[in-house]
Amino acid sequence: MQLPSLKDKLMPSGSVQQAKANFSWQSLTQLLSGLWQRLYLPRSPFLALPAPPLATPPANTTQRRAKKEMPRTRRLHHSRDRSSAGTRDKRRRHDTADHSPPLAEAPSPPRITNTHHTRSAAKRRRHELDAKKAQISKEPTFDDSISTRRRKERSKRSHRKSPAASRRQHKYRYRDETSHSSSRRRHRDRAKDERDSGRNNRQSQAKTAKPVIQDDADGHLIYHTGDILHHRYKIMATLGEGTFGRVVKVKDMERDYCMALKIIKNVEKYREAAKLEINALEKIAQKDPHCDHLCVKMIDWFDYHGHMCIVFEMLGLSVFDFLRENNYEPYPLDQVRHMAYQLCYSVKFLHDNRLTHTDLKPENILFVDSDYTSHYNHKINREVRRVKNTDVRLIDFGSATFDHEHHSTIVSTRHYRAPEVILELGWSQPCDVWSIGCILFELYLGITLFQTHDNREHLAMMERILGQIPYRMARKTKTKYFYHGKLDWDEKSSAGRYVRDHCKPLFLCQLSDSEDHCELFSLIKKMLEYEPSSRITLGEALHHPFFDRLPPHHRVGEVSNKQPLSSGSSSRERSHSLSR
């Protein structure tokens, strides 16, 4: 029989068993906590439980302990609700507590009683650890110095072309990195510098950038009011538009004077026609430098990105535009006389120098000054305009052709086209005389003499107004408008009825039987002769009785005392020099 030891004798049997149980439980928990720590696992709440009692405690003691302890599920949830740093701090705290000498009294109280103090301590330790990490990170290492140097080199390379960026780099070289106010100030100043540099770049680009030259679908130059062409001519307004291009009002920045600029379409055929017009105007200017023969004066010309531009003196409205704005009220007879005389005198100058205009019409005859006065006409019950000054200028030499140059088959605008052009029999200076006769009729009555767009109908109107076309011309033409020398025309058709109702013999169109009116129609009839060889010349027209009543101050020059330019051998040399 084994004898009890002294320790067993001094202690009661129940307390001895309780102490052995506590010792063995503490050893077991220490062993498990060490293994748990080596496996890098969070500390299990199971290891923090007190040793299980051997005997069943009283009922009232068990109830009080249940009230104080937190349920297992809540403790697990509470421990997982912390951050990773807090979990490491708790594990470190429990590990130090496990390695401390064991206590003799009962197990440690539940963790819920120390939750507040544990959290505050964990926060304090977490802040201390963060401060140490920040201090360690501030200390530069070898790798950090290399990466910093490389970043600076890349920054220099990227900002090498920007002086503003280098100024910003030196400006904030000694900035305090821990100062939040200086950081905000740095970003604000940097944004301001970037805005200023961007604005300066845009302004410099706007100053150095060339204007964008664009054309529309038809080849017209797209421009705006205020644009400056050729570094000299500032566009003020648009004056007119035609098939060739547009005419704009410009201001000469050098002379501070308004002029007319003709901008030709960027189309090959119109560009070549403009070159021919420039050549003709230069030859005319050589023979008539002071514009004594009433041809428009060319001041300058240049090529603007494929658009031929010709600068002219500023003139007024055309005789057609003035007529249209006056509700097609015809011009008074004395004004018709003066304009007809100037037109014949100007075109005669071209004919004397072997040049044919080929495009005479009211649109190409411009007033020097189109100011007018208004008065009320009781017969028509409306106001009528009367131009003050009937001085005119001849324009548009784009189709002008010298005698030795190639002659196109079709020339002149439809309503002013001579019969030899329609029948393709060849043409020369007499086709201009036919056009002048049609213009005089339109100025006198305010309506077009041949209002048509068809060749056969045009010939039918001629026969209705002027009589039958000569048999020689009908037989000579290669066109199919005639049958056995007569015009192939059905007078009973709708077109035939229109011609019969709207056209009548020429002398029936007179507004009066007075001598002046009869003389005018006599001149028109001679200008509208079918045969070009029988048609009156402009030199003969200037001596017609219709111009005898022209006031002396309206006569440009005494034709009778002036030697024609085309007479003699010397005139041929001058004509040749004008054409080439």
Binding residues for ATP: 262
* Residue 409, CB-side half-sphere exposure with 13 Å CA sphere: 6
Quote the distance between the C-alpha of residue 365 and its chain's center. 35
Question: What gap in Å lies between CA 203 and CA 193, rounded to an integer?
Answer: 15
Annotated binding residues: 262
Question: What gap in Å lies between CA 333 and CA 532, rounded to an integer?
Answer: 27
Question: What gap in Å lies between CA 540 and CA 407, rounded to an integer?
Answer: 25
Provide DSSP, 250-262: EEETTTTEEEEEE
Among 211, 213, 247, 253, CA closest to 232: 253
Q: Three-state SS string across 208-251, please?
A: HCCCCCCECCCCCECCCCCCEECCCEEEEEEEEECCCEEEEEEE
What angle is formed at CA 76 by the lines to CA 73 and CA 78, rounded to 5 degrees?
A: 105
Q: Dihedral of CA 506/508/510/515: which sign? A: positive
Coil/strand/helix, residue 152: helix
Distances (CA, A) of 40 to 43, 61, 70, 100: 9, 37, 26, 21
Active site residue 95: no
Active-site pick, 89, 98, 352, 359: 359
Q: Which residues contact 253 (CB under 8 A, 6 or more apart)?
A: 228, 232, 233, 234
Catalytic residues: 359
